[in-house]
Amino acid sequence: MFGFKRRKRRRIREAPFPADWLAILKRRVAYYHRLTPGDQAELRGHIQVFLAEKEFGGCAGLEITDDIRVTVAAMACILLLHRETNYFPLMHSVLVYPRHYFVPTVQELEGGIVAEETLDYEGESWRRGPVVLSWADVLKDAADPDDGYNVVLHEFAHQLDSESGAEDGAPPIPDRSMASDWARVLGEAYRELIDDIEEGRPHFIDAYGTTSPAEFFAVVTELFFEAPAELKHYHPELYDRFKHYYRQDPVTRLPAGGAPGDEMSE
């Protein structure tokens, strides 16, 4: 069974990449232009498998087009370059809203008090469920590869994390010695971020990363690809572990002059 799936995926990857998809890729995904020709070819193959295996659904009246499918697939598959992959096996569908969407929530507080509120979402990732995205945010993020924010990278990082059996900031890592080191480095950086925020000290990693180790992993994944020089400057050990996990070194893709400045981002 698995051999058949591998052969099928190889045939899909090796098929000619549609010209209209390539036009979308070049127009929409700025990061594509930073890849080497070899990485571009690998990414195109991954996109073809992704789109052959995953379903897309439009929400709130949004019509799914190749523009949406190719842009989302490209950003998600950047996470898969240079690695053995099973193409986000726990996720079978992507749901896309036109823009931010609102989700009513109920939270039970101390004393039996129930609080109801409506939250504004850019995206969500459900373990053994869909990834949900705002198309307006996907477009904005795909056009700007340097702002440190990318909803597709974030939500699909959660999918990688969940492949270990739980979303806990520890995706499957084959090398046991590396797994132990991963836990140490990410644990220290996570606690350091919490301490910095509690003490009012400047911090480079977004405060949303303190929500949980899973969110820390997803937030740092965004920075690894979109602000790699800064991440390497402020957190060299963290950058090194992500470089080994993703088997990529995004600093080498930066345009000339892409080094970090002296300021610490809040």
pLDDT score, position 117: 73
pLDDT score, position 1: 52
pLDDT score, position 258: 52
Parts of the chain belonging to CATH 3.40.390.10: 164-266
CATH of 1-163, one of 1.10.472.150, 3.30.460.10, 1.10.10.60, 3.20.20.10: 1.10.472.150
Residue 117 to residue 107: CA distance in whole angstroms: 8
pLDDT in tens, 239-261: 999 999 999 999 999 987 555 44
Q: What pairing do the DSSP bridges indicate for beta strands 123-125 and 131-134?
A: antiparallel
pLDDT in tens, 59-102: 999 999 999 999 999 999 999 999 989 999 999 999 999 998 88
Q: Please check whether the domain covering 164-266 is classified as CATH 3.30.1600.10.
A: no
> Alpha-carbon torsion 90, 149, 258, 207, what sign?
negative
pLDDT-flagged residues of the chain (< 50) = 260-266
Buried-exposed string 21-56: b where 16+ CB fall within 10 A, e elsewhere: bbebbeebbebbebbeeebbebbbbbbbbbbebbeb
pLDDT score, position 94: 98
Parts of the chain belonging to CATH 1.10.472.150: 1-163
pLDDT score, position 2: 65
What pTM, to 2 d.p., does this model score? Answer: 0.90
